[in-house]
Copies of this chain bind each other. A is one copy, B any other.
């Protein structure tokens, strides 16, 4: 293999695939980035077995010559050092040459770097997606759906399925659901009906979706998503992002969600978030995160928290509307803040069915986002 490539393009391509490099891998070859130089361009590949990312750089782009290929070939180079050294090379023009035993020479300006490369034949093959179904979601919408749900996945590896986000298809809708044992976040969109009929539920790791989100562009360009039995592939411009589908059956969460409420209130999202944030600061000091909500007379609520060591925070907040019975309820303020942070509506509706029943948070004006938080049992 021998070629020259422009630094900025190589750096960008390395950045894309580096999201799949794990510092914890136990497979030596996966600490490397695979480089394939072919007549059409250069492909980089990185993988941590859960995620595999491939990024293609064409020989030329809008009349700029990016790559000059002298001899096609492949090599695997140590990812961390390769990334750092390429970024710091003195000249835009970078020459990469692979010699015997995958000894690789990189030249730029008056710098010469020799790297011990690894045999690309030892690099695992990328997943083959056979009989895959395809759906399409606009990039910015997919990004938003991930943001609104992935924070709620479980971090406890003893129930692996709950570390993922469920992609649930029903009645021509696609719903993302994430839940640990204390909260649930969901976001729904309409899907093309033909696709919805053939597409089945899948579960994708929350961590993987967060890495995907970093690569997704902030545009409404459609992302092709190919789903097979155990793999999903996202096509993002010249990047292929493969992810494993989590094994197992996702629990049925629909029964958790109350269908009617004993109490419903509508409140300004930012005012509530700010008030809870201040109460959270104190509750965090006691490591409990417990914050109490009390419904007072006159369409007002009181948010409070107290710490035996430090003191007490009390906040009064006017509601936009109030319906039903007055309640006192305690909850994890960190979970509530996470839920409020992803609400893109100025006012939210909160539904209660009792002091020990799930709290449901929705945007005031739409039904496509739903957040659920289990309350705390407290003594007073």
Contact = CB atoms under 8 A, between A and B. Distances in A.
A342 interface: no
A274 interface: yes
Interface string A37-70: 0000000000000000000000000000000000
Nearest to A107: B314
Contacts of A314: 111-114
Interface in A141-194: none
Nearest to A317: B110
A113 B316 contact: no
A39 to B, nearest CB: 28
Interface string A329-373: 000000000000000000000000000000000000000000000
A116 interface: yes
A112 B89 CA distance: 56
Interface stretch (A225-233, A276-284, A320-328): A276-284
A348 B281 CA distance: 51
A92 B314 CA distance: 18
Contact of A281 (B81, B114, B116): B81
Given A81-B285, A285-B81, A88 B310 contact: no
Contacts of A317: 110
A104 to B, nearest CB: 8
A134 interface: no
B313 A88 contact: no
A189 B217 CA distance: 53
- The size class of the interface chain A forms with chain B is 20 to 34
Contact of A282 (B81, B281, B316): B81
A278 B85 contact: yes
B313 A85 contact: yes
Contacts of A72: none
Contacts of A115: 310-311
A90 interface: yes
Nearest to A308: B116
- Copies of this chain in the oligomer: 2
A121 interface: no
Interface in A267-296: 274-275, 277-278, 281-282, 285
A78 B310 contact: yes
Contacts of A278: 85, 88-89, 111, 113
Contacts of A116: 309-311
A84 interface: yes
Most B CB contacts (10 A, CB to CB) among A84, A114, A311 go to A311
Interface of A: 78, 80-81, 84-85, 88-90, 103-104, 110-116, 274-275, 277-278, 281-282, 285, 309-317
15 contacts: A78-B310, A80-B285, A88-B277, A88-B278, A88-B281, A89-B278, A103-B311, A104-B311, A110-B315, A111-B313, A111-B315, A113-B278, A114-B313, A116-B309, A116-B311
Given A81-B282, A85-B313, A88-B278, 5 more contacts: A85-B278, A88-B281, A112-B313, A113-B313, A115-B311
Which 3 A-B pairs rank lowest in CB-CB distance, beginning with the nearest? A115-B311, A114-B311, A114-B312
